[in-house]
Amino acid sequence: MRDFLGFLLILAIVFFAVGETRGWYLGVPSQTPILLYKKDHVAETTRRTLMRDDMPVRFRGEVRRGSVAVEVWHQRTSSFQTNQPAGADTRLFEQTYRQGDVIAIDRLFEAGGGVYRVVMRYTDATGLFRLEVPGGQDL
């Protein structure tokens, strides 16, 4: 047990040292909580709707340091049935949160069928964040 605790202590020291110099990013958007520590990072999640014309997006967290910019984009996909080309990307939502702000986005974006893209831009950010969008079976 003593060896295991020593190993965990060394691991924590290395993890903290690396985090202090480069920061770290742990998590997968829309699948796990996202944990950031002094990190610049851009995370993007894309969902294509097949059966619905809207996209519910929930993003929660508290910015403890730096800033977090959240954007939601929509693009109408091309259709081989109507020979209609794909549409241009349209920004549906953009908001920047700074240190001390609480993020509580719970919106339903109704731009029609197509590809919805949620982009999170973290700038020297620290905090725990959670993105929730429907999975494949709900689209």
- DSSP secondary structure, 9-74, as one string: HHHHHHHHHHHHHH-EEE--TTTS-EEEEEEEEEEEEEEE-SS-S-EEEEEEEE--EEEEEEEEEE
CATH number at residue 52: 2.60.120.680
Domain annotation covers residue 69: yes
Is the pLDDT reported for residue 138 higher than 70? no
Overall domain count for the chain: 1
Whether the full predicted model's pTM is greater than 0.75, yes or no, is: yes
Domain annotation covers residue 122: yes
Instruction: Decide which of 26 and 133 is more confident.
Output: 133
Instruction: Decide which of 137 and 62 is more confident.
Output: 62
Domain that holds residue 107: 24-138
Domain annotation covers residue 13: no
Instruction: Decide which of 60 and 30 is more confident.
Output: 60
**78: part of which helix (H) or strand (E)?**
none
Domain annotation covers residue 2: no
Is the pLDDT reported for residue 45 higher than 60? yes
